[in-house]
Amino acid sequence: MQLDFDKRIQNATKAIRDVFSRPATTTVLVLGSGFERTLADMQIVKELSYSAIPGFPVTTVQGHAGKLLLCNLSKDPQRQVFVLSGRFHFYEGHTLQEVTLPIRVLHHLGVKHVILTNASGGIRKDLEVGDCMVIRDHINLMESSPLRGPNLDEYGSRFPDMSEVYDAALRLQAFQIAEQVGVSLKEGVYIGVVGPQYETPAEIQMFRAMGADAVGMSTVPEAIVARHQGMRVLGFSIIANKASGLTDKPLSHDEVVTNVGRATADLGKVICEILTTL
C-alpha cells in the first residue's frame, strides 16, 4: 500500500513537472468554495486540469474548478505561486490520502508554504456572514487521520507534533498586513467534519462547548499532511453562513458560494500581500 501510494505521488509529480518545468515558487494557495475571485490580482501563466494529472481525483463540487494553476502576482510579477483551484473532499468518497495527495505532490515540487482557504459556518456569536477568520487551531472530527496506515518515512515522523499546526509567525504577519491594507480579520478555532449534510443545531451546540468557532468540511486533512512534511501552514475561513440553529434560514451550498464570492476581495488583498513576502 505504501509503495503504491508513493508511486502515485511520483507519477503525479512527474506529470506536473513536465508541464510546469521548475517553477520559481515555494508556496501553494488552496482555494475553497467560491474563492475564484482571489485570483483577480494574479496572472495565470500555466494551468493543468486535475483530470490530466495521473492519480488525481476529479472534483465534483460547485465552486471548485479542478485545476492546478501557476500564477504571477500582479504586484510583483517576478513572484509566482501554485494555486489549487478546487480541492477534493472526504464526503465525495475519496480517502483522506487522496484528499491530501496534492499537498504530498507539491511538497515534491519544492513547496514549503501552504495557504489554505475555506468557506465555513460561524459558530461563535460575533462571527458574521462575510467575516474573514484566521485559523488559530483546529479540531479533527473527520473520523480518521490522513496519516493512518503505513508511514511515509521519507516525508515525516510516524508521530508528528501538532502543537502549532498553523504557523504563529504567519498568523501575526496576516494581522499586520490586514491592518496596513484596511481589512478586518478575526481569529478562531476551526472544526472539520465529514459532511456533506450540514450540522444539526444540537451538533453545533456540542461544537461550541468543545471550543470551536467555525465549522467546515475541509482543510484539516491538508493541514495535518502539510505539517507532517514540515511545511508552514496558514489558514483562512470566510464565514459563509451562520451555523445551524443560529439562523432561521435553511442552509444551502448556493448561498455559501455567493456569500464567499462577495467577501473574497478583502481577503484576496491580504493573501496577495503575504505571497509577496514568502
Residue 1 binned pLDDT confidence (cut-offs 50, 70, 90) = very low
166-218 pLDDT, tens digit each: 999 999 999 999 999 999 999 999 999 998 998 999 999 999 999 999 999 99
- In whole angstroms, what is the distance from residue 54 CA to residue 18 CA? 12
Residue entry with cell 470551536? 212
Backbone angles phi, psi at 135, to 5 degrees: -80, 115
225-246 pLDDT, tens digit each: 999 999 999 999 999 888 887 7
- On whether the CB atoms of residues 73 and 48 are closer than 8 A, the answer is no
251-278 pLDDT, tens digit each: 666 666 666 666 777 888 899 899 988 8
- Whichever domain contains 32, its CATH number is 3.40.50.1580
Q: How many structural domains compose the chain? A: 1
What is the pLDDT averaged over residues 82-97? 90
Q: DSSP strand E in the chain: where?
A: 27-31, 42-49, 67-73, 80-85, 113-122, 132-141, 185-193, 214-216, 232-242
32-82 pLDDT, tens digit each: 877 777 777 788 989 999 989 998 887 765 555 689 999 998 777 788 899
- In whole angstroms, what is the distance from residue 64 CA to residue 180 CA? 30
- On whether the CB atoms of residues 183 and 269 are closer than 8 A, the answer is yes
pTM: predicted TM-score of the whole model, two decimal places: 0.92
Q: Which domain holds residue 193?
A: 2-275
121-148 pLDDT, tens digit each: 999 999 988 899 999 999 999 989 999 9
Assess whether pLDDT exceeds 80 at residue 27. Answer: yes
What is the pLDDT averaged over residues 99-125? 94
Question: Which residues carry out catalysis?
Answer: 33, 64, 89, 91-92, 119, 217-218, 241, 253
